[in-house]
Amino acid sequence: MAELDPGSAGTVTTIKWRFPTVHPEGHKYVAIAAISSLVCAFMAWETLAWPLLGVTIWVATFFRDPIRTVPQGENLIVAPADGLITLIQQVPPPREMAGDAGLGSEPMTRVSIFMSVFDVHINRTPIAGTIKSVVYVPGKFLNADLDKASEDNERQHILVERGDGSRVGFTQIAGLVARRIVPFVKNGDMVVAGQRIGLIRFGSRVDVYLPAGAAPRVSLGQRTISGETILGVIGDADAAKGRAL
């Protein structure tokens, strides 16, 4: 927002903090919790009204949708999720994104970001480009922090291709509490880096498959900010490597 600074001779650009909005996907859940709390309060059931008020606040917080500032640079790969980096491994790409039309068949670096129920759950695309595929796979609801969750849990694979043919794939994985993956994009959509592409309810994980020549710029135990933290740089194999397991 541009404002006139009384202490200067011209107009300066300032950024003001604002309370994060609640994503429309969460409105009905907030309403259900709030109405339940109000009904209990009206009935003088205080032992239920207060806990339900706390649930209402938590649900609103879970679906918060803060503004993010995406770093500039066409070769940057940004984090698609808020959370904790729990795994950095060399693995084959998922079969749903493998092959000549996908990520190939050679092992590639997978960076796993675990989202707790307290993290922002709006996911964003790591790069700009065209959505080449969105593949939903039903599955279990194991702890998303487990390595086998990438193969056993309910998940959704998204493949993005840049104009130069470079591709980045990432997978939304439902967790122990999560029960639904909500997509915002479909095949053929054009996206910009950091654009919202979906969310997962309620606690989950996102795996990012870095292309060849993009060493990870993050380390195990580091926290990421969706749309802001740089995971890697396409074509930059000399980046400081994260510790792989």
Of 184, 77, 179, nearest in space to 123 by CA:
184
166 is catalytic: no
**Rounded to 5 degrees, what angle do the CA atoms 211, 192, 157 make?**
50
**d(C-alpha 166, C-alpha 219), whole Å:** 24
**d(C-alpha 82, C-alpha 222), whole Å:** 11
Rg (CA), the chain: 20
- At 39 the three-state DSSP class reads helix
On the 0-12 / 13-18 / 19+ scale of CB atoms within 10 A, 5 is exposed
Catalytic residue among 37, 150, 166, 204, which? Answer: 204
Query: 10 Å Cβ neighbour count for 83?
Result: 27
Q: Residues with catalytic annotation? A: 204
